[in-house]
């Protein structure tokens, strides 16, 4: 049970594939247009329920409850060895490897 007042993320299908603009590429026309937003849950609910939330600007939005206390996981990425190679090369060109 997720309590009213929790900060949650909701999901919506805005347009089904059949409703999409005719002017888009084939691969895009085969999938729905989806939407996500976040807000304070307006009633006790379970993940997967249709709910309403009050967003950061105070508007009421509805959608399927998919996440509680949503957080970001983007990062500085895994090591990319090429970058170290660039650093080394630039120092050699600019400073000739001298001490």
Partner 1 sequence: MALAKDYASVMGRSNEIMKTALGLDYQDFESGSVKFDYEGLMKSTGYTLDEVNRIQSLTGVGNTPLLELRNLSALSRKYAKPGFGARIFAKDEAANPSGSFKARRAACAVAHAKKLGYKGVIAATSGNYGAAVASQAAMQGLRCIIVQECYDSRGVGQPEIVEKARRCEAYGAEVVQLTVGPELFYSFLSLLEDSGYFNASLYSPFGIAGVETLGYEIAMQCREKLGKDPEVVVCTNAGGGMITGTARGLLKAGATNTQFVGASIDLTGLHMASDKQFNRKSCTTGHTGFGVPYATDPDHSDVPRSAARPLRYMDRYVYVTQGEVFYITEALANLEGIERGPAGNTALAAAFALAQELPEDAVIVISETEYTGAGKHIQPQLDFARDNGIEILFGDPSQDRPGENIVLPKDPSLIRCKDADLDRMRASLIRKAAATRNANPTPEDIAFLAEETKTDEVFVRSVLEQ
* Least distance from partner 1 to the Cβ atom of residue 62, Å: 12
Longest dimension (CA), the chain: 68
* Least distance from partner 1 to the Cβ atom of residue 44, Å: 23
* Least distance from partner 1 to the Cβ atom of residue 99, Å: 18
Q: Contact residues for partner 1 (CB under 8 A)?
A: 14-15, 19-21, 23-25, 27-28, 30-39, 55-59, 72, 74-80, 82-83, 85-87, 89-91, 93-94
The number of beta carbons lying within 10 Å of the beta carbon of residue 27 is 7
Pairwise CA distance, residues 15 & 32, whole Å: 6
Contact in structure between 29 and 57 (CB atoms under 8 Å): no
The residue whose two tokens read 């999901």 is 11
């Amino acid at each position: 049970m997720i309590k009213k007042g929790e900060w949650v993320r909701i999901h919506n299908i805005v347009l089904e594939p059949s409703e999409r603009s005719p002017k888009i590429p084939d691969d895009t026309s085969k999938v729905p247009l989806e939407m996500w937003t976040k807000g304070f849950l307006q009633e006790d609910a379970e993940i997967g329920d249709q709910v309403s939330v009050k967003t950061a600007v105070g508007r009421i939005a509805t959608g399927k409850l998919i996440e509680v206390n949503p957080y970001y996981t983007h990062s500085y990425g895994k090591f990319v060895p090429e970058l170290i190679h660039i650093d080394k090369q630039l120092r050699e060109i600019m400073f000739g490897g001298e001490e």
